[in-house]
Structure 1
Amino acid sequence: MTTEALINDTRKAELLSTEVEHIDIKNFDARPIVEAMKKMSFTSRDLGRATDIYNQMLADPDCSIVLVVAGSTSAGGCMDLYADLVKHNMVDAIVATGATIVDMDFFEALGHKHYQALEIPDDDTLRSLYIDRIYDTYIDEVALQNVDHTVALIANELEPRPYSSRAFIREMGKWLTKNGKKENSLVKLAYENDVPIFCPAFTDSSAGFGLVKHQVDAMKAGRSYLTMDSIADFRELTDIKIKAGTTGLLMIGGGVPKNFVQDTVVCAEILGHEDVEVHKYAVQITVADVRDGACSSSTLQEAASWGKVSTALEQMVYAEATSVLPLLASDAYHRGHWKTRAKRAFGKMFD
């Protein structure tokens, strides 16, 4: 019997009945509430200062902005927010987890949806229905497997050689321009606007399954196959840092993407660019606690000791990102500094 035949379709349809609606930062003006929060204390004032710093990045004609995303905020309702940052020239490069780019954005670009969990039954029950859970959000596993196979399909059509994650994700964006089912896809918009996307742990995602299938099928058929080149990722992002000069980081979560983008300063120095600037501006929104010594939660002040980030214009915001990021992004959108920003189009560096 097929997977679908084993599933209780009535129960599955009941659980996957309420779609996550992604917030639209253009439809509300957060400036008044952010201004009010600046006059408060605790996280409110931190968010106010972080928003000021992000607006300074946008207003600085010399500053190139890197969006850094870890965690599941895209699945949780911020997917269109990130797309708008690209569409309106509010970020110039992206470093993210594979899940953010593939399992969430590319997933929806293929026409699939994320769903609110109105109830959370036993997770074994969810498994029997082929429903994957991210906290209080559901994904149809059968639909997610469509992502695996689509990635394999794209890989099969490419020249068998090493690719950086940026180069492969660009091919995914190109594929979506002809085959995608969602206009507001981050992967598609990044391709169209020459905004490079890097996933330093790219195969730690649905793409990994597709690429393994691509390689195994090629091996069985005696064909050559493509590989992912993580060193090229580091080199290419460092090349962007060297060319950009002044940079600002808008970081959601931490982990590998955060450390990866910060390390470009050190890498540039190792390559002989002793005059490379540390990241001038930095904002991080996270719930990670510094007390356990985890890399994900190392503060921006700590990064300064490594020669990665300036302490003059940095702000940690300890909050769950879906609750504060829409305020920051809406405030910046409505202040409009993006309207006069020069477009970097860093993606063209690698053509």
Structure 2
Amino acid sequence: MSKTNEKLPDLLAEAVLKGSSPVPQGLVKVDGINYSKPEATDMKASDLINSMKKMGFQASTLGEACEIVDKMRSWRGKHIDELEEYDRKGSFDENGYQKTTIFIGYTSNLISSGLRETLRFLVQHNMVSAIVSTAGGIEEDLIKCLAPTYLGDFTLSGSTLRDQGMNRIGNLLVPNDNYCKFEEWIIPIFDKMLEEQEEYVAKHGKDCLDANTDVDSPIWTPSKMIDRLGKEINDESSVMYWAHKNKIPVFCPSITDGSIGDMLFFHTFKASPKQLRVDIVSDIRKINSWSMEASRAGMIILGGGLIKHHIANACLMRNGADYAVYINTGQEFDGSDAGARPDEAISWGKIKVGAKSVKVYCDATVVFPLIVAATFANGKPLLKPEETD
């Protein structure tokens, strides 16, 4: 006969069935979406993300990112009339109240993708204050106004594509002809910019090249050059067009690291012995000053590398950003800035201690459209001031 009341060995009881301490107050129960409920049918983005907040993993960080973005864009400070004249700096809303200066940074592959249209929406509607991009993030936006980028496949043969004059960006394809069209478009603009530069130098002397303080002078900086290209493209599908239209500065310290750099290189031969001068020092002063003057500063970083650090380092000049949302797939085991979590930036003073920050580990093309749909584009009133702190 079997023993039905045999005692469980003490070792097993201790190892497997160890009792729990009392559950701390305030812990949230893991929960997901009940698709059986009528309200779960064809949900709005904001409702979907709200339902994902308790799922755990990156679903929960996505929800947290949306909360931070909403706080970032909703914060309001004093009215401009309440401030002394020397304090009337930073960003103000249409009613004259201080608002968060929002820096958005993105890498070139995201403009090559269909995320370009999401970014254009933000710039078109003045929802961000300043942009930092790589050179590819500038030129690919302009090139798309001249010729399309196509969907391909990650597995296409590089040697075959080379023979076909096709360039692969992940699973996207860009014909070489697109860059030929870009050259035809941009070189005459460089000619005109050089002409304006030389006329200015002739009038003010060569010393003006070493003291570029005149905002309207044709002594070019990357941001001035990009603004000019946005003006010249004159195409409402372009992010750069709307940046020019809305006077949103676009910073690109790596302006020569791409097709624009190729075109500047080609232009040195065409224009020799003269050449365009591009002053990067004036732009670092400009972006750092924007950060220092901000009443509050927020960072939305899509990707990593130069764009991430350039914004974070600007925020260091004001002792850190007040809000930060990172979206990338980088890991920090190799010590890279791209993979670093917000906590590392806090150690440098690039994000304030106590600031609202999160990193979402995901491809930005997957989650950023959801974030924008649930926040900037949700059509709902902004949070009340007391809800943003």
TM range, normalised to the smaller chain?
Answer: 0.7 to 0.9
Give a deviation string over 1:86-113, Cα, whole Å, max 9, x none: 11221111001111121x2111122x11
1:118 shift after superposition: 5.0
1:296 shift after superposition: 1.5
1:121 aligns with 2:156: yes
Contact 1:59 1:337 in 2 (8 A): no
Give a deviation string over 1:211-251, Cα, whole Å, max 9, x none: 111222111xx4x3212222122111112112223110010
Which residue of 36, 39, 43 corresponds with 2:54? 39
Matches within 5 A, 1:33-72: 33-61=48-76, 62-72=99-109
SS of residue paired to 1:297: coil
Change (3 A) 1:295 1:118: closer
d(CA) in 2 for partners of 1:337 and 1:58?
11
Change (3 A) 1:257 1:248: same
Contact 2:319 2:352 in 1 (8 A): no
d(CA) in 2 for partners of 1:183 and 1:42?
38
In structure 2, the residue matched to 1:107 is 143
d(CA) in 2 for partners of 1:129 and 1:321?
30
d(CA) in 2 for partners of 1:122 and 1:318?
29
In structure 2, the residue matched to 1:82 is 119
In structure 2, the residue matched to 1:209 is 262
1:263 shift after superposition: 1.3
SS of residue paired to 1:285: strand
In structure 1, the residue matched to 2:239 is 186
1:230 aligns with 2:265: no
Change (3 A) 1:49 1:123: same
Q: Which of these two proteins has the greater Rg computed from alpha carbons?
A: 2
- Give, as a single letter, the amino acid of the residue that structure 2 aligns with 1:281: Y
In structure 2, the residue matched to 1:240 is 290
1:277 shift after superposition: 4.4
1:325 aligns with 2:368: yes
Matches within 5 A, 1:1-351: 29-61=44-76, 62-102=99-139, 104-110=140-146, 112-118=147-153, 120-158=155-193, 159-160=196-197, 162-177=219-234, 182-219=235-272, 222=273, 224-266=274-316, 268=317, 276-311=318-353, 312-332=355-375, 333-336=377-380
Instruction: Return the structure number with greater relative CO, CA threshold 8 A, min gap 6.
Output: 1
SS of residue paired to 1:322: helix
Number of aligned positions between the proteins: 297
d(CA) in 1 for partners of 2:180 and 2:346?
42
Change (3 A) 1:218 1:339: farther
- Give, as a single letter, the amino acid of the residue that structure 2 aligns with 1:262: A
d(CA) in 2 for partners of 1:213 and 1:176?
20
d(CA) in 2 for partners of 1:293 and 1:126?
35
Change (3 A) 1:300 1:229: same
Structure 1 unpaired stretches of 5+: 1-27, 269-275, 342-351
State the percentage of identical aligned residues: 28
Structure 2 unpaired stretches of 5+: 1-42, 77-98, 198-217
d(CA) in 1 for partners of 2:336 and 2:285?
25
d(CA) in 1 for partners of 2:383 and 2:226?
27
Contact 2:71 2:383 in 1 (8 A): no
- Give, as a single letter, the amino acid of the residue that structure 2 aligns with 1:289: Q
1:292 shift after superposition: 1.1
Give the CA RMSD over aligned residues: 2.1
Q: Which has the larger displacement, 142-151 or 230-239?
A: 142-151
- Give, as a single letter, the amino acid of the residue that structure 1 aligns with 2:348: W
d(CA) in 1 for partners of 2:176 and 2:294?
40
d(CA) in 2 for partners of 1:192 and 1:95?
17
TM-score, normalising length from structure 2? 0.72
Q: Which has the larger displacement, 332-341 or 56-65?
A: 332-341
